């Protein structure tokens, strides 16, 4: 998740949830029109499946925004203040996803279509990349999903982070062959190694243990579990459309939408491969021979580089996430971009974005492709990723005050 609790580029307090009295009808209408027109165009020019994935991306963006569901601030408040609600929501999301994914991946097909998980090697590049990504999360102010949904929601600081994220992804793609020469294990699938039933049982036990541990740590620090603080003044359809949603709604929705992605695309949700593609295509337009890079000579990557970005599943879903978040921000009355950005904050966004992009290429994914979808796929590299990323988040959280960025604290709950 991005820094929804601190001032955005305009100096206004930017929160995805909370009371609101007005809707940004213009932003909502533009987003809805672009989602509808984009789906119609993709259905005719590419395929109905591509159109469906674009709309799934829109639903992901709306979910991320309305539920304020995320990773960056969840890790930060856990590290700095032992608050674990965000981490527990992630464990629920992962538990649901694994329960849906594991039997299907073991079978190899879903609704008659072949499916595969995101299984990657476990090695030096994953550890280093995830560590760098973790630092970048705290300096850049968001993760991969958080960067996209807050750009769509009107946080203009995150435009800087996204631009640097793309640049870092390109640099990571260029350097990845060297990192792959360092010590590494072959890709390991827990589903294939233990069978899906045993792998699921083991995963669920770990999720439960992490959730319980986070609750114990939080109670020790605060005397009880800290309330989520969401606004419940709306109910029914109004709350669904305008938000805010309980975090647990977001956990369930993200797991189901990732499963929908698996059904439609034949593989789980990812985000950052599109950033390397966008940046490399921009370099190609400027005359750089990126097609000669080993990264872009791999069959799947070469195909993506030679086609329109609209034919790329990840790109189309990323565009959908941005528009879905714009729709959510408009419905919530929270779309209010501004362009005032302190120098220290700008530098943090720039450095953080570069680390996010570079780290995600080295680690074969981000908080979505490596952590969420990797663990949901039964890939050991997803577990290695989260351990290294948490270490990076710890370092990044300590660096935030140097750039004038807040580290949230909650007073201890007492009877006084």
Task: State which residues form the domain around 295.
Answer: 25-403
Please state the rounded mean pLDDT for residues 357-365. Answer: 97
Question: Is residue 11, in this structure, part of any structural domain at all?
Answer: no
Model pLDDT for residues 308-354, shown as the tens digit of each residue: 999 999 999 999 999 999 999 999 888 877 778 899 999 999 999 99
Peptide bond connecting 244 to the previous residue in cis, omega within 30 degrees of 0: yes
pLDDT of residue 410: 73
Buried b (16+ CB within 10 A) or exposed e, 289-316: ebeebebbeeeebeebbeeebebbbbbb
**Tokens 């990797």 map to which residue?**
374
Give pLDDT tens digits for 79-121. 999 999 999 999 999 999 999 999 999 999 998 899 999 999 9
Evaluate whether residue 412 is within a structural domain. no
pLDDT at 153 (0 to 100): 83
In a domain, 140, yes or no: yes
Residue 5 lies in a domain: no
Among 188-202, 226-240, 367-381, the minimum mean pLDDT is found in: 226-240
Q: Contact at 8 Å (CB) between 322 and 149?
A: yes
Tokens 């203009």 sit on residue: 156
**Residue 415 confidence (pLDDT):** 38
Indicate the DSSP class of residue 245: P
Distance CA 100, CA 372 (A): 13
**In the predicted structure, residue 267 carries a pLDDT above the cut 70:** yes
Q: Provide the pLDDT confidence category of residue 22 given band limits of 50, 70 and 90.
A: low
Q: Is the pLDDT of residue 48 over 60?
A: yes
Average pLDDT of the segment spanning 290-302: 94
Q: Is residue 167 part of a domain?
A: yes
pLDDT confidence of 232, banded at 50, 70, 90?
Answer: low
**Under 8 Å CB-to-CB from 382, ≥6 apart: which residues?**
370, 371, 372, 373, 374, 375, 376
Percent of the chain with pLDDT over 90: 78
The full 3-state SS of 347-402, as one line of letters, equals HHHHHHHHHHHHHHHHCCCCHHHHHHHHHHCCEHHHHHHHHHHHHHHHHHHHHHHH
Backbone phi and psi for residue 333, each to the nearest 5 degrees, phi listed first: 75, 30
Residue 85 in domain: yes
State the pLDDT confidence band at 6, using cuts at 50, 70 and 90. Answer: very low
* Residue closest to 389 by CA, chosen among 133, 83, 184, 87: 133
Residue 230 confidence (pLDDT): 52
The token pair that represents 68 in the structure block:
């304020």
Question: Domain for residue 326, yes or no?
Answer: yes
Which distant-in-sequence residues (6+ apart) come within 8 Å of 144 by Cβ?
165, 271, 272, 356, 360, 366, 367, 368, 369
User: Is 232 within a domain?
Assistant: yes
- Helix 72-81 to helix 124-140 angle, to the nearest 10 degrees? 90
pLDDT of residue 416: 38
Count of domains forming the chain: 1
Say whether 109 sits in a helix, a strand or coil: strand
Calculate mean pLDDT across residues 372-395: 97
């Amino acid at each position: 998740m991005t820094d929804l609790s601190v001032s955005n580029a305009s100096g206004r307090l930017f929160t995805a949830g909370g009371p609101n009295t007005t809707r940004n009808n213009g932003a909502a209408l533009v987003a809805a029109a672009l989602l509808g027109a984009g789906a119609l165009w993709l259905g005719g020019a590419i395929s109905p499946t591509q159109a469906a994935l674009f709309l799934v991306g829109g639903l992901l963006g709306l979910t991320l925004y309305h539920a304020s569901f995320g990773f960056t601030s969840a890790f930060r408040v856990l590290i700095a203040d032992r608050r674990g609600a965000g981490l527990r929501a992630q464990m629920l999301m992962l538990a649901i996803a694994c329960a849906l994914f594991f039997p299907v991946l073991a079978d190899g097909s879903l609704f008659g279509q072949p499916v595969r998980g995101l299984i990657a090697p476990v090695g030096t590049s994953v550890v280093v990349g995830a560590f760098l990504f973790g630092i970048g999360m705290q300096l850049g102010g968001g993760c991969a999903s958080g960067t996209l949904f807050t750009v769509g929601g009107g946080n203009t600081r995150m435009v800087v982070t996204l631009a640097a994220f793309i640049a870092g992804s390109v640099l990571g793609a260029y350097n990845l062959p060297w990192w792959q020469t360092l010590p590494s294990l072959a890709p390991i699938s827990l589903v294939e190694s233990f069978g899906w039933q045993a792998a699921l049982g083991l995963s669920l036990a770990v999720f439960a243990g992490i959730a319980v541990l986070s609750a114990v740590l939080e109670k020790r620090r605060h005397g009880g579990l800290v309330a989520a603080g969401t606004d419940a003044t709306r109910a029914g359809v109004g709350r669904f459309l305008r938000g805010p949603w309980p975090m647990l709604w977001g956990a369930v929705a993200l797991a189901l939408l990732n499963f929908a992605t698996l059904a439609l695309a034949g593989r789980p949700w990812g985000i950052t491969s599109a950033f390397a593609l966008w940046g490399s295509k921009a370099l190609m337009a400027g005359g750089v021979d990126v097609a000669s890079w080993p990264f872009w000579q791999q069959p799947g990557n070469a195909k993506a580089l030679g086609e329109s970005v609209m034919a790329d599943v990840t790109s189309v879903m990323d565009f959908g996430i941005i528009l879905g978040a714009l729709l959510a921000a408009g419905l919530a009355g929270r779309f209010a971009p501004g362009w005032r950005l302190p120098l220290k904050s700008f530098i943090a966004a720039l450095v953080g974005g570069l680390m996010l992009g570079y780290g995600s290429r080295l680690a074969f994914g981000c908080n979505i492709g490596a952590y969420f979808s990797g663990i949901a796929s039964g890939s050991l590299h997803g577990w290695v990723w989260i351990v290294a990323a948490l270490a990076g988040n710890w370092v990044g959280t300590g660096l935030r005050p140097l750039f004038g960025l807040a580290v949230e604290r909650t007073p201890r709950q007492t009877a006084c």
